[in-house]
Amino acid sequence: MSDASEGARSTAGSARPEHSQGGAYPVRGEEYVRDTRYIDTRVTADGRDGFPVEPGRYRLIAARACPWANRAVIVRRLLGLEDVISLGLAGPTHDSRSWTFDLDPGGRDPVLGFERLREAYFRRDPNYSRGITVPALVDTTTGAVATNDFARITVDLSTQWREYHRAGAPDLLPAEHRDEIAEVSRYVFTEVNNGVYRCGFAGSQSAHDEAYQRLWTALDRLEDRLRNRRYLVGDSITEADVRLFTTLARFDAVYHGHFKCNRHKLTEMPVLWAYARDLFQTPGFGDTVDFEQIKQHYYIVHSDINPTGIVPDGPDLSGWTGPHGRESLGGSPFGSGTPPGPVREDERVDPAHTPLS
């Protein structure tokens, strides 16, 4: 739901760079409300919207900084879709116009040939005026965005692309838990994923206070829910865990200080901290997280919140690889499935940006 981060949508061409990263700041005194107007066409097995599932046709454009995009990268890896859907990564910072491909040689995406992601949006609609957001699935046959509906993208990777899942891929949306996963995921989104943004982008003290209380009520509830169960729903990882993890992974690095969500650090919440470490050490999760790019994005792009652009050196990341003890709760990360294989060489996180060896 964000263009660069998990925040609100941006307005293409906005003069304020924060708009193209996480959504418009509210008018002073107002609470933050996310713009959720996405391109709602879908890539489906039957091609009902004109975008049929087809190996090699679509390119997932993401950014390691963005929690919404991080979800799609995790699910793609867990399901083994790397050879079916290619991955393009925008850099962690951008201006008001769009995410850019400044990490690639020559500053252009090697498949699409674009310097800026907005080119793919304008291929879809020359008059496009909403958020230039990641994740986006781009149709490489036309260079146009097929969809940027981040919540549907991960669900469709699990359901519409099933024919191309790797052998041993986990079922992230098991039928027997589908309703509970949907309920928990909605709660995680409204109260936590979006909750940290309501705190960070609040337009007044009262709006921040209300958002802060709402966020910590939810985190306390999740701490209690996970005290005696290893995962949010059932005995293995589901879509709900993916959705919570990407916010927890960013909590101490950016949300605690930068977004003023500072009642406790994640490391001071024993259950959620152990849960986050358990997932981080599970193949497909921590190996997609680039802490340096996360910090660069939030502290540099959110110039209204951090006008100096100073990026802190911390926090200490070594604890992410320490023992978590969650195995004692039972369950198995992949259910009857197996872990994904090693990360592709061209998709590895810079070793200097992660505590994983």
Q: Which of 25, 32, 187, 197 is catalytic?
A: 197
Whether omega for the bond prior to residue 92 falls within 30 degrees of 0, making it cis, is: no
Phi, psi of 207 (to 5 degrees): -65, -40
Q: How far is CA 291 from CA 150, 181, 190, 316, in A?
A: 21, 28, 24, 11
- How far apart (Å, rounded) are the C-alpha atoms in residues 54 and 47? 10
Cis ω before 315 (30° cut-off from 0)? yes
Which one, of 157, 135, 101, lies nearest residue 2 by Cα?
Answer: 135
Catalytic residue flag (residue 275)? no
**Which pair of structure tokens corresponds to residue 309?**
């652009």
Closest listed residue to residue 97, CA positions, set 295, 301, 299: 301
Distances (CA, A) of 276 to 141, 170, 261: 39, 19, 17
Distance from C-alpha of 168 to C-alpha of 336, rounded to nearest angstrom: 8
Annotated active-site residue in 32, 58, 66, 121: 66
Radius of gyration of the chain (CA): 19
The C-alpha atoms of residue 150 and residue 6 are separated, in whole angstroms, by 10
3-state secondary structure of 41: coil
Length of the chain: 357
Per the annotation, the verdict on 298 as an active-site residue is no
Q: What is the torsional sign of CA 296, 300, 304, 305?
A: positive
Tell me the residue type at 100. T
99 assigned to a ligand binding site: yes
Q: Which run of H or of E encompasses 76?
A: helix 67-79
Beta strands at 86-90 and 58-63: parallel, antiparallel or unpaired:
parallel
CA dist., res. 9 & res. 22, Å (int) = 6
Q: Known binding site: residues?
A: 99
**Residues marked as catalytic:** 66, 197
Binding residues for glutathione: 99
